[in-house]
Chain A
Amino acid sequence: MNKQIVQIKAMSKAFPTGEGEFLALKDINLSFESGEFSGIVGPSGSGKTTLLNIIGSLDVQSGGEVCVLGHQVKELSARESAALRSQKIGFIFQTYNLLPVYTVFENVEFPLLLLKMTKAEREQAVLKALDWLGLSDKQKSRPAQLSGGQCQRVAIARAMVKNPALVLADEPTANLDTENSLHILDSMQKLNRELGTTFIFSTHDQKVINYLRRVIRLVDGRVESDDLQAGV
């Protein structure tokens, strides 16, 4: 049986507005096991990003409990939540967000610098990650010299290089064409299968949804459905 790495119980999130509060998430009860390849789907404004923020310890819930990798998110200090993200959570963004002045190698190396690994350890890990994603020949290139798909693969390598327990991917294919999207999704699926890394997506892209083994549909801040997809 796989270990539960995210537990969410009766969680709600409210944002203050001029007239009171806006309840973005209501009574969320979810859990994610290690090795999942899941996605939170739903229309814009449904609360996908807010939920991903809280799971990634970038934000805290207003009510209920959220436990990520054994840590109660609400009880973490800013420093502790930064350490949690640094050590155990990888992020993949829609717009890649690579550091333009650094090479592919250096972009992927960056999270390892925060972990204070030795140069030899870093080099080994980076080369392995680049190899996994088919970027070995691009390690000295700058992001501006790469295609969108290659940039997103670098972003995946950056998220994966520290061997995180959990990867949060926010609309990772939104800026890619179909071919690149499928290539990226294949890469992530391969990493999930071979390394056992848990992926949680936020998406409304049908191509991504087709790859997910579990689809959690959010509507107006509530979980409308939580289904396993047969045949994925």
Chain B
Amino acid sequence: MLSFLIKGVFRDRHRYLFPLLIVSSGVLIMVFMLALINGYMDSFIRQNAGFDTGHLKVVTAAYSRLLSQKPYDLGLLDIQDELATWKAAYPQLDWVERIHFGALLDVPDNLGQTREQGEVVAFGIDLLSSGRERKLMHLDQALVSGRIPSQSSEILLTDSAFRRLALKLGDPVTLIGSDVFGSMTFRQFRVTGSVRFGVEALDRGAVIVDLADARGMLDMEGGAGEILAFFRNGSYDQKAAEQIRDDFNRRFGDMETASSGGTQTGKSAIWEEETASSGGTQTGKSAIQSESSAIRDEYAPVMLAMSDQNNMGYMLGMMQYLLAIFSLVFIFILGIVLWNSGLMNGIRRYGEIGVRLAIGESKTQIYRSLLIEAGAIGFAGSVLGILLGLLLSAYFNLKGMDVSVFSRNSSLLSEDIIYTSVSLKTALSALIPGMLSTLLGAALAGMAVFKRQTSQLFKELET
């Protein structure tokens, strides 16, 4: 019976064409939108992780409370031994040290007098000993002119700053700031190139120098403002990140003493108090953010997951929420359209339904068969829509989509070009709404079968 019904559906163009087009168009749009949103999320995570948050980040407790200000004077000092321990404890992570600091960039004229000055955000990253940071910050792709620094005392500028300050490659510039102890400090660099990240928030004015130069300038030998950790496979796994964070804070933070029940020290007091008041497992984040407690060891290391920083947890959650809303709206709108289509189809097939009732099909059987037909159309339409959606997404995965108009003047770290993220899982997730909307439409339209007076069949069938 099933094959008989499905055969009938696909032989009748009027019966399947419109619903098929509607479902496949809707599913195509949905697959593409999901791929676009996922692409944006991937890009958002990648950008934020690479430029700022890492998948995980270790800072001092004091630094963590002023995280957005990047207070390098509250950074991690002499942490090379600890870092070696952490690397051994979490072999699944790659670690990089960074110093972010604000500075004044002074551009001298031929006489050595100030020609231009501008405020910049400086990134002290490891440019010389490995290529890791070049990859994380996409420096090679971002390079507009010149080259990446290859020796000490070389500097990269964002292209907008490079142009604004009318610089040329090889020009000397001076970074003026204050060191970790608050004394004025400055250091001369030579401009080797300019970069454009396609991230408005960074491109406004940033400079990149080697970490060793930054350490020397800021009197932070062996130290770092923050240490970023990345999963070696490159993908952010929130659950795993939160587990590592909790483990790290228990093992290497103040939690260790508190949870072991050992002798109370200045370090452990805060954690013990927090744990007791919450009555359960203490996470690093809530402990750090608690206003009610005073942290005694301001320089104890604290690990933060990406979701703990810059409202990232909220934003990622919000994106998931929007995806769910998008799916529901899709089902609702498509369901309404297909309901209407089902009603029109029902009118056209009035005679057929009548004769089937007369032949001996019950109304329930006919209703069920309408749902089966709708399921077949929904499945075929969804598969078609998924294939077309994948094709469209694959195109924009290769070519990218320029969304710079939306990110202009934005402080969010997001790329100007979004590449759709195509995955079979994403595509298949559109199958369910595609099927559901078709079945919903047919279920609503098919109710008319039950309102039909069987006794009127002869009259209807003669007209």
Are A and B co-members of a single complex?
yes
One of A26-34, A93-101, A145-153, A191-199 at the interface: A93-101
B461 near A95 with CB under 8 A, answer: yes
Chain A at the B interface: mostly helix, strand, loop or mixed?
helix
Asked if B1 is at the interface of the complex by the 8 Å CB criterion, the answer is yes
Q: When chains A and B are docked, how far (Å) is the Cα of A86 from the Cα of B1?
A: 15
| Residues of chain B from 414 to 463 with CB closer than 8 A to chain A in the complex | 454-455, 457-459, 461-462
Nearest chain B residue, comparing its CB with the CB of A102: B8
B8 and A79 contact, CB distance less than 8 A: no
Shortest distance between the CB of B225 and any CB in chain A (Å): 73
State whether the Cβ of A65 lies closer than 8 Å to any Cβ in chain B: no
B402 an interface residue at 8 Å Cβ cutoff?
no
Pair A58/B358 contact, Cβ less than 8 Å: yes
Q: Flag if B462 contacts A78 (CB, 8 Å).
A: no
Within the complex, what minimum Cβ distance (angstroms) separates A84 from chain B? 8
B454 / chain A contacts, CB cutoff of 8 Å: 58-59, 78
**In the complex, which residue of chain A has the Cβ closest to the Cβ of B3?**
A113
Contact check, B462 vs A93: say whether CB atoms are below 8 A apart. yes
B363 interfacial by beta-carbon distance below 8 Å: yes
A51–B15 Cα distance when bound, in Å, is: 35
If A52-B458, A93-B458, A170-B462 touch, whether A85 touches B358 (CB-CB below 8 Å) is yes
Residues of A contacting B356 with CB < 8 Å?
110
CB < 8 Å: which of B354, B361, B459, B462 contacts A86?
Answer: B361
- Assess the A111–B458 pair: CB atoms within 8 A: no
**Given contacts A58-B457, A93-B462, A102-B8, are A111 and B354 in contact (CB under 8 A)?**
no
User: What residue of chain B has the Cβ atom nearest to residue A48's Cβ?
Assistant: B458
Which chain B positions have C-beta within 8 A of A14?
none
Within 8 A of B (CB), among A39-90: 49, 52-53, 56, 58-59, 78-79, 82-87, 89
Interface centre among B7, B12, B356, B358, by most chain A C-beta atoms within 10 angstroms, is: B358
Q: What's the minimum C-beta distance from A105 to chain B, rounded to whole angstroms? A: 11
Whether A111 and B462, one on each chain, are in contact in the complex, defined by CB atoms closer than 8 angstroms, is no
Known contacts A93-B355, A93-B461; decide if A82 and B12 are in contact (CB<8 Å).
no
> Complex: how many Å from CA A86 to CA B362?
9
In the bound complex, residues from chain B placing their C-beta under 8 Å from that of A111 are 359-360
Q: Which residues of A contact B15 (CB under 8 A)?
A: 101
Complex A-B, nearest 8 residue pairs according to Cβ-Cβ distance, in ascending order: A86-B360, A59-B455, A82-B362, A85-B360, A97-B355, A101-B11, A101-B12, A91-B358
Give chain A's interface residues, CB within 8 Å of chain B: 49, 52-53, 56, 58-59, 78-79, 82-87, 89, 91, 93-95, 97, 99-102, 106, 109-111, 113-114, 158, 170-171
22 contacts between A and B (CB under 8 A): A53-B455, A53-B458, A58-B455, A59-B455, A82-B357, A82-B361, A82-B365, A83-B362, A85-B359, A85-B360, A86-B361, A91-B358, A94-B461, A94-B462, A97-B352, A97-B354, A102-B7, A102-B8, A110-B359, A114-B359, A114-B365, A170-B458
Known contacts A82-B357, A99-B8; 4 further A-B pairs (Cβ under 8 A): A82-B365, A93-B355, A101-B11, A113-B4
